[in-house]
Structure 1
Amino acid sequence: MEILTLFVVALVGLEHIGIGLFEMFGSAEKQAGAFDMPEEFVKTKNAKTALANQGIYNAMLGILILAVILLFTGSTLKLIMILLMSYVFVVAVFGALTATKKIILLQGLPAFISLLLVLFFYD
């Protein structure tokens, strides 16, 4: 189960890299649909800048999650994975409350499942 747990946590990391790239380089039309925002707004310079900044945070979080899996082992890895998956879940809840409800399913649910796997199946 430990390998499955690491795999699922890695998927959360890859998901965040993908989200980050989408936020930084995605088309305004698709970003507007994903974030339930008017396309005219997403095309503005300020919105593009905000999405790019949000994107780099998500991409770097994804890279951090993958790096942690490669660099740490044992109880240290478990603790860091608990912290990171908790962080992702809390941020997803906030995003669902403030931006779009889809975030809780797309980001929060995978992080919550990963957190449960880490807590119960990673030694």
Structure 2
Amino acid sequence: MQTFTLILAVLIGLEHLGIMALEIFAGPKSQAKAFDMPFNFVNLPNARVAMANQGIYNGALGLLIISSLFFFNGTALVTLLKLLMFFIMIVATYGGFTATKKIFGLQLLPATLVFILLWL
């Protein structure tokens, strides 16, 4: 597997850890701006809980991508990264259509690129 592909995978993992930080720890103003949501919505207690819950999933995904590089190698690593990138592609497609179009460029495009590179 090429080093370039692994670097891109790590960057995707770090991106998801960054998304987690925004969803769990950022203030409502930052969240509203980052996720193209109305401030009045993200400031609601139930929305904040839902956003933090989603952040846990993004953090787990980011950690799984990064940690897989330390615990797996060869075919097992390639297979796991393919599955994780495919998962991101599905979720990012849904998010791009339902939440904000920015997700297409920020999450779907990088995951698709790594997914394709993993097949080469």
**TM-score when normalising by structure 2:** 0.96
- The answer to whether residue 96 in structure 2 is matched with residue 96 in structure 1 is yes
Aligned residue number for residue 45 of structure 2:
45
Q: Which moved more, 1:44-53 or 1:110-119?
A: 110-119
Aligned residue number for residue 34 of structure 1:
34
1:1-123 equivalence runs, <5 A: 2-120=2-120
CA-atom RMSD in angstroms: 1.0
Structure 1 residue 111, shift from structure 2 partner: 0.6
C-alpha distance in structure 2 between counterparts of 1:106 and 1:26, whole Å: 19
Structure 1 residue 4, shift from structure 2 partner: 1.1
Superimposed CA distance per residue, residues 76-112 of structure 1 (whole angstroms, 9 cap, x where no aligned partner):
1111111000101110000011111111111111111
Structure 1: gaps spanning 5 or more residues: none
Structure 1 residue 52, shift from structure 2 partner: 0.2
Superimposed CA distance per residue, residues 27-61 of structure 1 (whole angstroms, 9 cap, x where no aligned partner):
21121122221101101100100000000100110
Identity level (%): 47
Structure 2: gaps spanning 5 or more residues: none
C-alpha distance in structure 2 between counterparts of 1:4 and 1:38, whole Å: 38
**TM-score when normalising by structure 1:** 0.93
